[in-house]
Amino acid sequence: MKYGFFDDENREYVITTPRTPLPWINYLGCEDFFVLLSNTAGGYAFYRDARLRRLTRYRYNNSPLDSEGFRIYIRDGASVWNPGWQPVQAEPDSYRCRHGLGYSVIEAEKDGIGVRQELIVPKGGNCLLMRVGLTNRCDVQKQLKLFPYIEFCLWDAMEDGSNFQRNLSCGEVEVDGAAIYHKTEYRERRNHYAVFWANRMPDGFDTSRDAFLGVYGGPARPEAVFGSGCTGSIAHGWQPVAAQEFSVCLEPGERSSFIFGLGYIENPTDEKWEAPGVINKSRAKAMMARYSDDAAFDAAMKELGDHWDGLLSGFRLSSGDAKLDRMAGIWNQYQCMVTFNMSRSASYYESGMGRGMGFRDSCQDLLGFVHMIPERARERILDIAATQFEDGSAYHQYQPLTKKGNMDIGSGFNDDPLWLIAGTDAYLRETGDFSILNEMVDFDNDPTKAQPLMEHLRRSFRFTLTHLGPHGLPLIGRADWNDCLNLNCFSETPGESFQTTGPSEGPVAESVFIGGMFVKYGRAYADICRHIARTEGSDAYGREADEALKAVSDMETAVLTAGWDGSWFRRAYDAFGHVVGGSGCEEGKIFIEPQGMCVMAGIGRKTGEAAAALKSVKEHLDTPYGVVLLQPAYTRYHAELGEITSYPPGYKENAGIFCHNNPWITCAEASLGHGGRAFEVYRRITPAYIEDISDIHRTEPYCYSQMIAGKDAAGFGEAKNSWLTGTAAWSFVSISQAILGIRPELDGLTIDPCIPSSLKSYTVTRRFRGADYRITVDNPDGAETGIREAWVEEKKTELSGNAGPCLTGRGLLLAPAAPGSVVEVKVILGV
């Protein structure tokens, strides 16, 4: 069942009922000011840090769900309704919510009154703008009341939801004309306030929640709206809000437009006050003046549209498959930008108060946005690398405001260092900007310990080598990619952290997965060294490359012996030296992660283990909704395995469809030339292809979720944790690089498709190092892989035979063209 449709022309998903299975959200903002916005206008706003600078409140586990937001109440005689349906839930005669790129529009009509609520965070402005248009479609005059309403958060979202003995006494506001200022804690140490304003004078206002809603009223039945109007209340402590009241008289056919704003203002410390106790409003007034009319609003919309045109013009696809085109060309890239902005901090599943920026997550997110915003990716890499320790290990998380490593969680996740190579390698391949490697970067955020980025990579690589276990495989530490496989923890006490309890440097427990990573990213490291050796004529880098490849080859041997189980790659060895993820295990016999990573790394490609491992994935882990993480699911808690066995069977890491590593299987299948199967794995978790089962899937049909319940779960097929997931970046890699085969390499752009035989032709426009490549792939004979003929600028071109790490051996390597040029490329697949 569907709850809407894609409008590809406008790059929108149009939701046709407010009763979606879960709130379906959008992200507004692309710089410092952000809004999470659901299809019923639920959500919240923050400035830069969702915990420390929260502007409006949100109660995640509330009932009904999604009760707080950016509300508009319409009162029409005795009837009260919201264009977004929530919170009054009066049935509109028609309803549409259009989620577009960085904006949303809710349109509803009831009893002949049309309301259009448009929301956007303008570029270059620290505010949410909300335009509300009212149209009288009746043939009589209408007297209406309009009430906008938001509830302020007292800045630190954690304190706001817990430290009531203090914060119920702190709230302060000022009202000045059509603006309501929220200035809690501004009298003492804060130099920022929030402002809610309208572009015309209201007929009334409230700033006390009790006055507007009533102590026992609630947002579904505000006393001021249902009763005799706003009271002019000024909040002193308790719950400050911004509510206004407007009387509107509309003749038949008449339209009236209001612009509201919610802004964040910072004042220099010596300019905080206009008079004793009166905040300096000059910056707020400038903001209000800037967005005071329809023309300014329209201009902000246009600017945002242009911004997205620019971002998406780096990769465009036309394949004749609308679902594929809209995912690869629009929504997947959009989600990648959201992960750039949010990392794992704020979604409808991440409270914005918990996890900061993850080291491994941020490195992987890079793979999905580096082609859109290379300069910002560069900055991100340097920030991440600065949280690395001198021995090559890393803080597992860091805080976005301070960019400092997070002490609580610390270090010891032994896959982390290698992800830094992965992220940097992606940046180098995209941009060719080797100068980044010479940038001086702190260790442990300490400038006295700064070293060139290249030295950081070297230490990342060495970290694995100096942390090998009894079988020559990498020690796992607190966990590897799978945060929940905690082989050195042994927690028996509720509430303990599964990751930080127990000895982090267990000397026995090993990860086959990190072994695969070491082979894949160790090769990438060697390629980078080799490239420098060649371009700078440096023998030292040549030797470093040789040594790295020697270590990689030893690791390959270890993985193919101790890491091989007969029909698939094992997952790990636990602290007692027992196999995890082998046929001899009672439960958890086979895991997805090492199959994906080891095959992507090329391990066993020539000797058959790679193909056997993928065959086992298909046999044991495949489901119609995606590939599950492991089988059989763990049915009881194992202290020696950790958090993974704490989840009920079929959920999360315990045999859920953990979408993040499905694209690894896609890439792995493509590396063996299995285009049909690669596409099948891609398609099963890709939102547009499962839009029809939105009633089962439940999360948004335009973005990936972290997890879909697996076949062991009661809710098989039901997704959770949409938006902030490594699935976004890896899915984009899998479709753009592995399947469509457009792959940036250190020396140029490779074309090496691996597609389903049913795909007969497609065109990709790809910006690469400043040049635009228009690449047409024709597949007249229904091949899955292998280029037969190629033309560049209509000239027949020799195939490179082995274009870099070209998978099929029959790809085409294009040297970087002059920036600004347009290169026409045509290839024909087949034998």
Residues designated as active site: 483
The DSSP secondary-structure symbol of 781 reads T
Q: Which two tokens stand for residue 13?
A: 């998903």
Residues in CB range of 660: below 8 A, 6 or more apart: 706, 725, 726, 727, 730
Residue nearest to ligand GLC (CB): 483
Token pair belonging to 828: 């024909």
Structure tokens at 169: 């006494």
Provide, rounded to whole angstroms, the least separation between the CB of residue 682 and ligand GLC.
19
* Rounded Cα distance, 237 and 183, in Å: 11
Positive or negative torsion for Cα 452, 458, 459, 461 = positive
The full 3-state SS of 408-477, as one line of letters, equals CCCCCECCHHHHHHHHHHHHHHHHCCHHHHHCEEEECCEEEEEEEHHHHHHHHHHHHHCCECCCCCEECE
Nearest CA-CA partner of 597 in 666, 677, 659, 499 = 666
For the bound state, the minimum distance from the C-beta of residue 441 to ligand GLC, rounded and expressed in Å, comes to: 22
CB of 267 to ligand GLC, least distance (A): 37
The 10 Å Cβ neighbour count of residue 341 is 18
When the beta carbons of 60 and 791 are compared against ligand GLC, the nearer one is 60
Minimum Å distance from CB 337 to ligand GLC?
Answer: 18
Q: What angle do CA 93, 81, 140 make, to 5 degrees?
A: 65
Query: Which own/partner pairs from 435-439 qualify as long-range (CB within 8 Å, at least 24 positions apart)?
Result: 436/378, 436/381, 436/382, 437/528, 437/532, 439/382
Contacts with 251 (C-beta within 8 Å, 6 or more apart), sequence order: 136, 141
Question: Pairing mode, if any, of strands 142-155 and 4-7?
Answer: unpaired
Instruction: State in angstroms the smallest separation of the CB of 588 from ligand GLC.
Output: 15
CB closer to ligand GLC, 652 vs 743: 652
Question: What's the closest the beta carbon of residue 479 comes to ligand GLC, in angstroms?
Answer: 7
Smallest gap from residue 415 Cβ to ligand GLC (A): 8
Nearest to 477 by CA among 456, 513, 503: 503
* SS3 state at 323: helix
- Quick one: 517 or 764, whose CB is closer to ligand GLC? 517
CB of 799 to ligand GLC, least distance (A): 38
Instruction: Give the nearer residue to ligand GLC in terms of CB position, either 397 or 424.
Output: 397
Beta-carbon neighbour count of residue 205 at 10 Å? Answer: 27
| Buried-exposed string 361-393: b where 16+ CB fall within 10 A, e elsewhere | bbbbbbbbbbbbbbeebbebbbbbbbbbbeebb
Q: Which pair of tokens denotes residue 563?
A: 């890491």
CB closer to ligand GLC out of 344 and 471: 344
569 vs 730 by CB, closer to ligand GLC? 730
- Measured from the CB atom, the residue of 83 and 356 that comes closer to ligand GLC is 356
Nearer to ligand GLC, 628 or 759 (CB): 628
C-alpha–C-alpha distance, residues 416 and 279, integer Å = 46
Closer CB to ligand GLC, 148 or 474, in the complex: 474
Handedness of CA 556, 562, 566, 567 (dihedral sign): negative
**Torsional class of 103: left (φ above 0), alpha (ψ -120 to 50), beta (otherwise):** beta
d(CA 490, CA 308): 48
For 635, the 3-state DSSP assignment is coil
| Shortest distance, position 65 Cβ to ligand GLC, whole Å | 22
Convert 130-148 to b/e letters by CB count within 10 Å (16 or more is b): bbbbbbbeeeeebebbbbb
Nearer to ligand GLC by Cβ, of 67 and 339: the residue is 339
| Nearer Cβ to ligand GLC (344/458) | 344
Distance CA 725, CA 429 (A): 23
What is the rounded CA–CA span in Å between residue 758 and residue 783?
Answer: 8
C-alpha separations of 419 from 248, 449, 552 in Å: 58, 21, 16
Task: State the nearest-atom distance from the C-beta of 504 to ligand GLC, in Å.
Answer: 14
For residue 626, how many C-alpha atoms fall within 13 Å in the half-sphere facing its CB? 35
Q: How far, in Å, CA of 452 to CA of 605, rounded? A: 35
Rank residues 499 and 616 by Cβ distance to ligand GLC and give the closer one: 499
Q: In the complex with ligand GLC, which residue's Cβ is closer, 574 or 653?
A: 653
d(CA 363, CA 339): 11
Largest CA distance in the chain: 86
Give the DSSP per-residue string, 560-595: HHTTB-SSSB--EE-TTS-EESSTTSSS--EEHHHH
CB 397 to ligand GLC: min, Å: 9
Q: At its nearest, how many Å lie between ligand GLC and the CB of residue 659?
A: 9
768 membership: H or E segment, kind and range: strand 761-768
Nearest-angstrom CA–CA distance, 473 and 417: 16
Site residues for ligand GLC per CB under 6 A: 344, 358, 360-361, 481-484, 498-499, 643, 652-653, 660, 706, 725
* φ/ψ bin of 741: left (φ > 0), alpha (ψ from -120 to 50), beta (otherwise): left
Least distance (Å) from ligand GLC to the CB of residue 593?
9
Q: Report the distance separating Cα 508 and Cα 778, nearest Å.
A: 52
